[in-house]
Amino acid sequence: MKLDHNYVPPRRDDYMRAFWSTAKGVEDLAEDAPIVTFLRLLLQQIIGFPWYLMVNITAAPTSLPKKPSSKMLGNSHFAPWGSLFRNEEVGCILASDMGLAAMAALLFYAGQQLGSATVVHLYLTPYLWTNHWIVAITYLHHTHPDLPKYEPEAWTFIKGATATMDRSCGFIGRFFFHDILDYHVVHHLFSRIPCYHLEEASKAVIPLMGDMYHSVKDRSFVGGFWESFTKCQWVEPNASKSDPKDGSLWYKGGPSPPPEIKMAQRG
């Protein structure tokens, strides 16, 4: 809850404040209509990753190496002297920004020569499609009703590493993403294992993990998306799943809060 860089859920009070609601409790909030949930999912998948890069949404403020900035784009991944980077990293971010500027200039030139429609079809559409998969994979791996979050004093490497989920995306996951969806848990434990050894490593490690291993490969990709988006909106201790004193927090469902436009004060 304090050190994660993305998908840090709000607690009950923060979740309620997001609605500007007069409801006395979460239970009094009306559920979203399916079309509202679908449109929110679409918004997340189309601009979620670019917006995260711009303003660091869904990150815990305490995960930054510097104090969070109140300036416009002060918490951006493109700001060399912003809150996300150490002083020794400034040169790398400047080089990255110059590369992005050069690419933007190249795309502008291509648009002048080939037409904007051609650039949209050949570059922007694949770019947004790639963003969709980046968001989808990271979201589904780390968001599920059975995955806990932890208070700072309760967190350990093993607890944090195993608070993720192996999923399946069928043919796409195996042949286009080289099993990174199907065998993600072992990547958390041993991040230097190459993707072509994930299946072998997982088969060796899973029997040793017992109840700490999480997998929902029997769910469809779309079904898993819908479940996570509707049942994982905020967190609190849950006595039915664990001892409240052990510092674990569990997802609860509810309507989608308004979209974040900047990094929230959560964690």
Divide the 267 residues of the chain into consecutive groups of 10 and give the mean pLDDT of each group.
85 80 56 83 90 90 87 91 94 97 97 95 93 91 93 90 90 84 93 91 94 90 89 85 78 85 70
CA pair distance 201, 186, nearest whole angstrom: 7
> What six digits make up the tokens of 139?
């979201």
Q: Where are the alpha helices (DSSP H) in the chain?
A: 12-17, 34-55, 90-114, 116-119, 125-142, 157-162, 170-175, 185-189, 198-209, 221-231
253, burial (CB in 10 Å: exposed 0-12, middle 13-18, buried 19+): middle
pLDDT attached to residue 33? 78
d(CA 114, CA 46): 25
Q: How far apart are CA 184 and CA 168, in angstroms?
A: 10
Q: What is the pLDDT of residue 25?
A: 60
Q: What is the pLDDT at residue 17?
A: 80
Tokens 């929902």 correspond to: 216
pLDDT for the residue numbered 205: 95
Cβ neighbours around 225 below 10 Å, total: 19
Whose CA is closest to 217, among 170, 254, 264? 170
Contact by Cβ (8 Å): 3, 62: yes
Are 133 and 184 in contact by the 8 Å Cβ rule? The answer is: no
Q: Calculate the dihedral angle through the C-alpha atoms of 90, 130, 135, 107, rounding to the nearest 10 degrees.
A: 40
156 Cβ neighbours under 8 A, 6+ residues apart:
none
Tokens of 37: 């949930």
How many other C-beta atoms lie within 10 A of the C-beta of residue 146? 13
Q: Provide the token pair at 203.
A: 């088969």
Residue 3 is predicted with a pLDDT of 81
The owner of tokens 């009950």 is: 12
Q: How far apart are CA 254 and CA 116, in angstroms?
A: 41
SS (H, E, C) 151-165: CCCCCCHHHHHHCCC
